[in-house]
Amino acid sequence: TAAPESQPFQAEVAELLNLMVHSVYSETDIFLRELISNASDACDKLRYEAISAPELITDGAPPVIRIVPDKKAGTLSVVDTGIGMDRQELIDNLGTIARSGTKSFLSRLTEAKDGAGLIGQFGVGFYAAFMVAERIVVTSRRAGSDQVFVWSSSGGSGFEIAPGSEDDAGRIPRGTEIVLHLKEDAKKYLETHEIERIVRAYSDNIQFPIELVPEEGEPRQINSASALWQRPKSELTPEDYKQAYQQIAGAFDEPAMTLHYRAEGRQSYAVLLFAPSAKPFDLFDQARKGKVRLYVRRVFIADDADLLPAYLRFIRGVIDSEDLPLNISREMLQNNPQLAQIRKAVTSRVVSELEALGDKEPEAFAKIWDAFGAVIKEGIWEDFERRDKVLALSRFTTTKGEKRSLKQYAEDIKPNQTEIYYLTGDSVERLKSNPKLESAAARGIEVLLLTDPVDAFWTSAPTDFGGKPLKSLSQGDIDFSLIPLLEDKADDKGADGADAATTVALIKDALGERVSEVRASQRLTSSASCLVAGGDGRDRQLERLLAMQNK
């Protein structure tokens, strides 16, 4: 056999490994979860490829994941009969960082004082194994290939790649064997009870059987290996759901919302969706792509099928269809009418569940809103069909408090008030001292204080809620004359008509061309003047945003 060839890691990998090896992170258990999740993905990919190339699995080896401790050798192996990797895939997948967002994760990891905490929060995939192993040997055979390749590394700056021996080829009919030469302080992972504990805690719901192959005795399956979303709700505990969420999303937080149901009728499908309670580090990195996984009769098909609109891209989970053809191609996914129906129905369901959660469990909802509110609000702009519902579930900071819904706003609305008022700006603090609020405050009128960049966009289209248009206090005419002043302001003197006309003329003279109009205003009670856009003028915040982009 040919001599092994040395290759350097991509700089980011070397950096990540360095962090792994020297990590003081104590929850090293997660390495096994990451390896099992990769093995499960590999079995999913094989099943998918075998739909159009059945010969790939005709050798009969069913998809399975085996965990093999060897105390004498001090090694723990994770073996799968999945898709496997050829030489180039080994080099690409285990030598570079393919995951979107990992780069930004790394820069945060190096910045953060508590880098270890971040590792625990997000997981770092395959490389997590270097927390417990001083050397890793990966032997793999791509499905359908007669060649086996061996990748090995002790961390550091690079890895070696070589063709496998005859012995390797005999041992591995298909798939991947990952052998971890455990560090001295990680030898506990050779104990079968440790392995079982971790698998039960993190990987019980992996769909494929996970077998523990003890040094003595028979191999035995240690997970339940069922597609959790196919099981009846009544059988499942919150702990089951939490584990399923963490496993499907590769997350470490608790789900803030769990939605599990089965649709029957013209189409049958199972839905298991979660809203995270914490923001993933790559939320704003991605090309606004969702990650909900599409299955067809329990076979994984794709995780980029846009099963939900972009403003719900933070939702994670699975949709498993009974009716779609198994051999549905990528192109078909784009414009399949059945899938479009599922998408529509599930989107409506998610939006109304979020709305209901906001009413029934405000604390859980607040977590979702804090993490993803700015994303959800894109829906006010984008989802014309559900705009009212998205508005109804939105929460705002207003002059009356935080996390106010428009329903609450409507309940507290002043007599004769026919519009919902807002101001856009950079920070709530600065908005609060904006003179444009004075007159509203004098009348006890609530004003939404909008500070997310997305607010400038959705407010630029005419929007109303419950028949009341939303109106910017920095745009055009505001008529508060029918809304009474609060009692303690009632004796404030309004501008005298004649006085106002003279003053306006004087100011107009002084400013000349620089303003299009000068008017006496009801907006102000103690400030002398403020700048506003014309009635159909663009909002000043949007103007600034656009100016920034045109730079």
Binding site for ligand ADP (CB under 6 A): 34, 38-39, 41-42, 80, 82-83, 85, 93-94, 98-99, 125-126, 176
Shortest reach from residue 16's CB to ligand ADP, in Å = 10
Q: What are phi and psi of 304, to 5 degrees?
A: -130, 35
Taking a C-beta distance cutoff of 8 angstroms, is the pair 110, 28 a contact?
no
Shortest reach from residue 470's CB to ligand ADP, in Å = 42
Taking a C-beta distance cutoff of 8 angstroms, is the pair 146, 51 a contact?
no
Which partner from the list ligand ADP, Mg ion, none does 83 bind, CB cut-off 5 to 8 Å by kind?
ligand ADP
Minimum CB distance to Mg ion smaller for 41 or for 49: 41
> Which of residues 23, 38, 81, 474 is near Mg ion by CB under 5 A?
38
Which partner from the list Mg ion, ligand ADP, none does 99 bind, CB cut-off 5 to 8 Å by kind?
ligand ADP
Residue nearest to Mg ion (CB): 125
SS3 373: helix
Shortest reach from residue 34's CB to Mg ion, in Å = 5
Minimum CB distance to Mg ion smaller for 38 or for 347: 38
SS3 540: helix
Give the binding-site size for Mg ion (rule: CB under 5 A). Answer: 2
Minimum CB distance to ligand ADP smaller for 94 or for 271: 94
- The interface region with Mg ion, picked from 122-130, 141-149, 208-216, 492-500 by CB under 5 A, is 122-130
**Pattern of binders to Mg ion over 519-538, x per CB under 5 A?**
--------------------
- The interface region with Mg ion, picked from 30-38, 72-80, 111-119, 486-494 by CB under 5 A, is 30-38
Residue nearest to ligand ADP (CB): 125
Residues contacting 317, CB < 8 A, separation 6+? 229, 245, 248, 249, 259, 271, 272, 273, 274, 292, 293
Cα separation values, 436 from 68, 219, 475, 526, 536, Å = 70, 74, 10, 10, 18
Beta bridge partners of 177: 79, 139
Minimum CB distance to ligand ADP smaller for 45 or for 183: 45
> Which of residues 63, 69, 115, 125 is near Mg ion by CB under 5 A?
125
Minimum CB distance to Mg ion smaller for 125 or for 290: 125
Shortest reach from residue 194's CB to Mg ion, in Å = 21
- Helices 102-111 and 115-122 sit at what angle, rounded to 10 degrees? 150
Q: What are phi and psi of 393, to 5 degrees?
A: -90, -10
Minimum CB distance to ligand ADP smaller for 139 or for 459: 139
Shortest reach from residue 206's CB to ligand ADP, in Å = 13
Shortest reach from residue 47's CB to ligand ADP, in Å = 13
Shortest reach from residue 35's CB to Mg ion, in Å = 8
DSSP state of 533: B
Shortest reach from residue 41's CB to Mg ion, in Å = 6
Minimum CB distance to ligand ADP smaller for 42 or for 67: 42
* Binding of Mg ion by 475 (CB under 5 A): no
CA dihedral 25, 28, 30, 36 (to 10 degrees): 140
Cα separation values, 203 from 33, 122, 195, 285, Å = 6, 16, 11, 28
Q: Which residue in 288, 303, 312, 416 sits closest to 368, CA to CA?
A: 312
SS3 245: helix
Minimum CB distance to Mg ion smaller for 125 or for 358: 125
DSSP per-residue letters across 377-422: THHHHH-GGGHHHHHHH--EEETTEEEE-HHHHHHTPPTT--SEEE
- The interface region with Mg ion, picked from 33-41, 64-72, 206-214, 509-517 by CB under 5 A, is 33-41
Shortest reach from residue 126's CB to ligand ADP, in Å = 4
Cα separation values, 504 from 309, 527, 529, Å = 50, 15, 11
Residues 302, 166: Cα–Cα separation, whole Å = 35
Q: Which residue in 347, 319, 353 sits closest to 227, CA to CA?
A: 319
Binding site for Mg ion (CB under 5 A): 38, 125
